Amino acid sequence: MDTRQGFDLKRHIRTIPDYPKPGILFRDITTLLSNPEAFRAAVDELCSPFQKVRIDHVAGIEARGFIVGGAVAHVLGRGFIPIRKKGKLPHKVIGQEYALEYGVDRIEIHEDALAKGERVLLIDDLIATGGTALAAVELIQRLGAELVAAAFVIDLPDLGGADKLRQAGVKVHSLVGFAGH
């Protein structure tokens, strides 16, 4: 595998101020995904620490975690498990609520998606406060699977999500950090 260490991923991420609401700096990865070298470099770097680690499944969080997680699963030669917003999965699910700035949201996983003891790599595009990723970790662990690590293209370290995951005993791998929110 061609791991392009040192590739400048950051310049391929577009920042949109005040989206989806005033004060938010939205880190848009569509510009990274549309560039073949940047997309490949991001996927290769996400996979790089796990090439020699036993992973049974890659789980991705809707929606951008599907794009990146699907590619990671393909490179690692593993199956992909979707973690979706409520009401989207067709079979029996278990769900986990998590706090948003205003109110709560819920993500779900098929109850038969993972077997006890299976080793899972969790993928999303970005970690901010960590609420979404922590809920996903909870779902994976409730199915009896073992979380090997959580990997993200982007970390917003000042929002503390990656630290929260580490405090919960999760290994965190991220490629690009943006200071602030």
Which residues are designated catalytic? Answer: 64, 101
**Interatomic CA distance for residues 34 and 47, integer angstroms:** 19
58: closest CA among 150, 162, 166? 150
**Interatomic CA distance for residues 62 and 122, integer angstroms:** 12
Instruction: Output the smallest distance, CB 15 to ligand AMP, in A.
Output: 8
Instruction: Output the smallest distance, CB 56 to ligand AMP, in A.
Output: 23
Residue 32 vs 76, nearer CB to ligand AMP: 32
Could you tell me which residues come within 8 angstroms of residue 13 by beta carbon, excluding any fewer than 6 positions away? 27, 28, 29, 31, 32, 153, 154, 176
CA atoms within 13 A on the CB side of 110: 12
Residue 69 vs 161, nearer CB to ligand AMP: 161
Instruction: Output the smallest distance, CB 117 to ligand AMP, in A.
Output: 27
Euclidean distance between the first and the last CA atom of the chain, given in angstroms as a whole number: 34
Instruction: Output the smallest distance, CB 113 to ligand AMP, in A.
Output: 19
Residue 55 vs 130, nearer CB to ligand AMP: 130
| Positions that interact with ligand AMP (CB under 6 A) | 24-27, 61, 64, 124-133, 161
Please provide the size of the chain in residues. 181
Q: Helix 36-47 to helix 64-76 angle, to the nearest 10 degrees? A: 70
Residue 89 vs 118, nearer CB to ligand AMP: 89
